[in-house]
Structure 1
């Protein structure tokens, strides 16, 4: 009985690492993009940057986060088989095989982009205005 309990504990730790790894990598990538690349892009956009940093832009990020979290939940290992069955029943034939490995990679990508988009959400209106004006 002892090894089985240890195995369950390791499975739980591996599951947490599998979720937290891509999420943290996405958060770090998004934060670095927001700190170093976004100000340069906004400086080139000039007055047109207001559209990107408006409340509509923030809401679109929230929608993207919801979509990627839903995709990650559908492709998680606990739902992967049901998602694969649904895809085979409802989608037209793909030029590549739909496998559990592919579903796993979609899960990792969706988890990464959830963190990435989360890091791009402005933390305050002052920060939005500052980034729109091109100053850091």
Structure 2
């Protein structure tokens, strides 16, 4: 069971984020598009999808840095640069919480990523 613990520690926030992202895209996203009206095309634009990739890359990098395999190096680097987190003292627990939050957010963003075309509409040919 101890060999599966790291897997479950990494998979739990990813699965929770993916599940909540799919629920958002299924239930909330259509209501948001309906309220936007003519501006709904901006949500599915190429620029918005490109920014979405950037918004996925940032928490993904944060999750990689704060993962338990990199925690010692990240903690040493943060302690060598105390001005970055001046009111907060970096601890292994803080890195673990940051990893879980970043993994959840990354999975949520990927699951709720906008489609190239709005649902229910066929692209004109």
Q: TM-score under structure 1 normalisation?
A: 0.79
97, 119, 132: which is aligned to 2:111?
119
Structure ID, larger Rg: 1
Q: Is the 8 A contact 2:18 2:110 kept in 1?
A: yes
Q: Which residue of 1 aligns with 2:12?
A: 21
Indicate the structure with greater helix content.
1
Structure 1 residues 58 and 12 mapped into 2: Cα distance closer, same or farther (>3 Å)? Answer: farther
Q: Quote the Cα distance in structure 1 between the aligned partners of 2:9 and 2:109.
A: 19
Q: Is the 8 A contact 2:65 2:71 kept in 1?
A: yes
Q: Which residue of 2 aligns with 1:6?
A: none
Q: Quote the Cα distance in structure 2 between the aligned partners of 1:60 and 1:88.
A: 31
40, 52, 58: which is aligned to 1:61?
52
115, 118, 125: which is aligned to 1:129?
118
What RMSD over aligned residues (CA atoms) do the two structures have, in Å?
Answer: 1.8
Structure 1 residues 15 and 131 mapped into 2: Cα distance closer, same or farther (>3 Å)? Answer: farther
Q: Quote the Cα distance in structure 1 between the aligned partners of 2:100 and 2:38.
A: 36
Q: TM-score under structure 2 normalisation?
A: 0.85
Q: Which runs of 5+ in 2 are unaligned?
A: none
Range that drifts further, 87-96 or 57-66:
87-96
- The number of residues matched between the two structures is 120
Q: Which runs of 5+ in 1 are unaligned?
A: 1-9
State the Cα distance separating 1:49 from its structure 2 match. Answer: 1.8
- Deviating above 4 A after TM superposition, structure 1's stretches of 4 or more consecutive aligned residues are none
Q: Which residue of 2 aligns with 1:4?
A: none
1:91-110 alignment to 2 at 5 Å?
Answer: 91-92=82-83, 93-110=85-102
Q: Is the 8 A contact 2:43 2:114 kept in 1?
A: no
